[in-house]
A = this chain, B = another copy of it.
Amino acid sequence: MTMNRQITLASRPVGAPTPDNFKLVETAVPTPERGQVLVKALYLSLDPYMRGRMSDAKSYAPSVKIGEVMTGGAVGRVIDSRHPGFKEGDIVEGRIGWQDYGLVEGGMLRKVDPDVAPISTALGVLGMPGLTAYFGLFEIGKPRPGETLVVSAASGAVGAVVCQLGKMAGARVVGIAGGPDKCAYVKDELGVDAVIDYKAEKDLAKALAAACPDGIDVYFDNVGGPVTDAIANLFNLRARMIVCGLISHYNMPDGYVGPSILRSVLTNRVLIQGMIVFDWHDRWPAGIAQLGKFVKAGKLKYKEDVTEGLENAPATFIGMLEGRNFGKTIIKIAE
């Protein structure tokens, strides 16, 4: 009998998650009921938002309960289908969770076309992170040619797409990343105009001012915390700040916010707009199609940080929250 390995939430973290917050269990592989599809996971996505799911604080999505399988998107192969839209062998993306086999309602699955790009990209540049970048930047940030766009976590799954879309839109793009490797990638591969290594800079505010001599028009924020504070002082009139992620906050027992944001919001009439990619759910196919064209044409690069083995998911996730990943964090579960 084939067993299904699952990683469940054993306890809620206080501050940074630790390995004993997770538990590996084995159960029988389930059988689909009408409308359901049994998917064998191939690639599991790990994303910062998952830290939120481990907490029982109110958020835009329900928490994972203690003992439940950790939530997560994955790309997999259909093993058994009782939904008319899917057949055995189809490659699909959906919320399979941190496990080898997931039962998913057919209506919640998305078919992945392996001819466009490697199927793992359905978790990154052609998936939620890519869409987050695409809609967040163009629906909220609306950069114009010549404007200055600053992107935090610029080498990350979302940030790397933002950097490139920003360049396509004619903006002057300044990336912020941690460490020389990521910074070189952002500068040389993604082609931004300037990059700031927030780990190396003694005075982040000064470095930002030097990198943004005309101020900041659009800030795509994936991190929050002190980086965001430094940004806020450089906002131009009618600057747009996309509050997309707050990774520097996620591990703090209480929230954190800097000293000067609201002053700048007031004097510069800054628009701060929180966003979740589901807000544009009806337009995902159009977004994917557009992004796919960019990838096919070689205009849109992506980087994946693939770790093999479901059992390595917890450690990889912890490392990602500490910034040890480089590119879209992916767990490769099976060939």
A interface, CB within 8 angstroms of B: 58-60, 224, 228, 243-246, 249, 254-276, 279
- Tell whether, in the assembled complex, residue A272 and residue B271 are in contact, meaning their CB atoms are under 8 Å apart: yes
Least Cβ–Cβ distance between A265 and chain B, in angstroms: 4
- Tell whether, in the assembled complex, residue B267 and residue A274 are in contact, meaning their CB atoms are under 8 Å apart: yes
CA distance A268 to B272 in the complex (A): 12
Q: Of B60, B249, B266, B279, which is within 8 A of A262 by CB?
A: B249
- Tell whether, in the assembled complex, residue A262 and residue B59 are in contact, meaning their CB atoms are under 8 Å apart: no
Nearest chain B residue, comparing its CB with the CB of A52:
B267
Q: Copies per complex?
A: 2
What 3 pairs between A and B have smallest CB-CB spacing? Answer: A272-B272, A269-B274, A265-B274
- Tell whether, in the assembled complex, residue B255 and residue A257 are in contact, meaning their CB atoms are under 8 Å apart: no
Nearest chain B residue, comparing its CB with the CB of A260:
B255
Q: Of B243, B256, B276, which is within 8 A of A259 by CB?
A: B256
CA distance A202 to B258 in the complex (A): 26
A245: chain B residues at CB < 8 Å are: 266
- Tell whether, in the assembled complex, residue A254 and residue B259 are in contact, meaning their CB atoms are under 8 Å apart: yes
- Do A260 and B262 form a contact, CB below 8 Å, given A274-B268, A274-B269? no
- Tell whether, in the assembled complex, residue B257 and residue A261 are in contact, meaning their CB atoms are under 8 Å apart: yes
Least Cβ–Cβ distance between A109 and chain B, in angstroms: 26
Q: Of B59, B256, B270, B274, which is within 8 A of A274 by CB?
A: B270
Nearest chain B residue, comparing its CB with the CB of A59:
B267
Q: Of B59, B244, B257, B274, which is within 8 A of A257 by CB?
A: B257
